[in-house]
Structure formats: C-alpha cells, structure tokens
C-alpha cells in the first residue's frame, strides 16, 4: 500500500501541508483535485489538493482536519493511499502514541442566554427521540433533517445539556462514511457525566443560541426496573507507528 508520512514542523502546518514530490510523481493518476481523508474511527474530511509553485499541497479543508485533531508541532502523521483520492490517516503525538480525535471543551459561552433566534425558522420546534443501547456508547446518529434544519450540519459544533439548567457539554457532530451524521466527540462524556443508562429513551430539542444548544430530557429511564446499565467509557484504540524501510 502506497504511503507517506509528514512531521508537523513548518510554521503553517495548520493551514496547508506539502505532499512529498516523489509520492505525487509516482501516484499522480490516483490524486484528483479533492481527496478524502479518513481515520480508523470512520470520520472523514474532504480536502483540496492545490499546486503552489512546483509542489502540491493539502489546502482547503486541511485546516479543519488540523483543528479537529488539535495538531501540534512535531506530531507525526501517516497517510495511506487506499484508493483513488482516498487516504487513511494515522496521527501520533510527540510521545509516539496514537492520538485520538478529541473535541476540547470550552467555557467562553457557558453564561450566554439561549433565547436567541439561532438557525431555526420562527415557529419551528426541531426535536427527535432516541432509545439508547450499548451501541450508542461512542456516538449517536441523528436525523439529517434535524441537523440541516437547525444549521448544525454545517457548523458541526453544539452544546448539549440535560434539562434547562444542566451543565453544557461541548459536542462535535461528525460525518460517517455512509453520509449519516452523528454526535461523537464529547458524547460519551455527556452520557457518563449524567449517569445515563442503556435502554433509556431520550428526547433532544434544539434550543438555539450562538453555540447551538440542544436540550436533552430522559423520557423513560432504563435504570433500575428497566434493566439497563450505566454507560461507561468506550474502548480505546491502541496502536503504534508503522515501521518504514530505510
């Protein structure tokens, strides 16, 4: 499998990334103007390949990938060409360990009011209901019409809280390979932080505000007689950088 690696050492690695010229020369027929980057978690990003001077760079869309992974100087990325214009990306931090995608919490808008217009049209009441199973430990797929109607399909960042006065949890909406949208980064922390049980039925209502607040409510508790179990942390991916021949 064709592959290359990059070490994040240039000052502009968060905005663009140069592809090795020899790799481009050897595999030019497999590289279109736009490529898909995906990780073992199933998340994907569309990135443009642009010629700048004599070289090719990842440009439009790359900054989003860099932001989502919070890339830092001297981190190590491996790109595996798995098909035409498709790369599997492995990210390793400076310790040499596999780096997982993690959406960082922020607190700058914890005290904002939620009665602003948001993205929904006047009179709209965007809402959906889900019964949670063990399969929802790491992520929760949501209706696309809900995501698009509220505008979060584009922004992909939202705040999720339990009830009207609960803590707000930062959540990242991610796109799956088959086109579905899911609450992922921050979702498990929300489940465990609110002691939610499997087999619980939860309603989700879009409230609004500049940070896209969604209010969750337990319609039916799966705990106790419901025979559900408390959600725990997801299984962690373990890996090590691949070996390269000199």
- pLDDT tens digits, 16-41: 999 999 999 999 999 999 999 988 76
Domain check: are 137 and 204 in the same one? Answer: yes
Beta strands in the chain (DSSP E): 3-7, 17-18, 34-38, 44-52, 55-58, 76-83, 86-92, 127-131, 140-142, 157-162, 168-175, 181-185, 201-208, 213-220
Query: Residue 121's pLDDT band (boundaries 50, 70, 90)?
Result: very low
What's the Cα-to-Cα distance from 25 to each of 7, 86, 207, 216, rounded to whole Å?
20, 17, 51, 52
Is 218 part of any domain?
yes
The answer, yes or no, to whether residue 240 has pLDDT greater than 70, is no
- pLDDT tens digits, 136-189: 999 999 888 888 888 888 778 889 999 888 889 999 888 876 667 889 889 999
Q: Which residue has better confidence, 226 or 186?
A: 186
Domain hosting 67: range is: 3-92
Domain count along the chain: 2
Strand, helix or coil for residue 85: coil
Is 50 part of any domain?
yes
Is 136 part of any domain?
yes
Beta bridge pairs of residue 158: 171
Cα–Cα nearest to 147, from 180, 102, 188: 180
Domain check: are 79 and 147 in the same one? Answer: no
Per-residue confidence (pLDDT) for residue 30, from 0 to 100:
94
The answer, yes or no, to whether residue 110 has pLDDT greater than 70, is no
Is 221 part of any domain?
yes
Joined together, the tokens standing for residue 197 give: 């049980």
User: What is the pTM (predicted TM-score) of this model?
Assistant: 0.49
Is 45 part of any domain?
yes
Per-residue confidence (pLDDT) for residue 109, from 0 to 100:
40
Lowest mean pLDDT among 48-52, 188-192, 194-198, 238-242: 238-242
Per-residue confidence (pLDDT) for residue 105, from 0 to 100:
43
- Chosen domain end from 49, 76, 92: 92
Domain check: are 132 and 219 in the same one? Answer: yes
CATH number of 222's domain: 2.40.330.10
Per-residue confidence (pLDDT) for residue 165, from 0 to 100:
83
Q: What is the mean pLDDT of residues 67-85?
A: 91
The answer, yes or no, to whether residue 103 has pLDDT greater than 60, is no
Is 122 part of any domain?
no
Is 98 part of any domain?
no
Q: What is the mean pLDDT of residues 41-49?
A: 84
Is 103 part of any domain?
no
Domain check: are 82 and 131 in the same one? Answer: no
């Amino acid at each position: 499998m064709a592959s290359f690696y990059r070490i994040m050492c240039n000052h502009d690695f968060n905005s663009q990334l140069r592809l090795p010229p020899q790799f481009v020369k050897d595999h030019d027929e497999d590289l279109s103007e736009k490529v898909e980057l995906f990780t073992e978690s199933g998340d994907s990003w569309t990135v443009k390949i642009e010629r700048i001077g004599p070289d090719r760079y990842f440009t439009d869309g790359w900054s989003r990938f860099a932001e989502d992974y919070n890339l830092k100087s001297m981190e190590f990325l491996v790109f595996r060409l798995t098909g035409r214009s498709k790369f599997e990306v492995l990210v390793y931090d400076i310790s040499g360990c596999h780096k997982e995608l993690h959406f960082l919490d922020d607190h700058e808008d914890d005290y904002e009011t939620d009665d602003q217009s948001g993205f929904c049209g006047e009179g709209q009441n965007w809402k959906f209901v889900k019964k949670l199973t063990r399969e929802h430990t790491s992520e929760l797929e949501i209706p696309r019409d809900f995501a698009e109607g509220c505008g979060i399909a584009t922004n992909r960042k939202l705040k999720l809280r339990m009830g009207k006065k609960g803590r707000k949890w930062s959540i990242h909406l991610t796109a799956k390979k088959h086109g579905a949208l899911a609450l992922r980064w921050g979702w498990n922390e929300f489940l465990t932080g609110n002691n939610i049980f499997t087999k619980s039925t939860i309603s989700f209502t879009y409230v609004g505000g500049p940070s896209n607040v969604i209010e969750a409510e337990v319609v039916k508790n799966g705990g106790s007689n419901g025979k559900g179990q408390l959600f725990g942390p997801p299984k962690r991916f373990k890996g090590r950088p691949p070996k390269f021949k000199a």
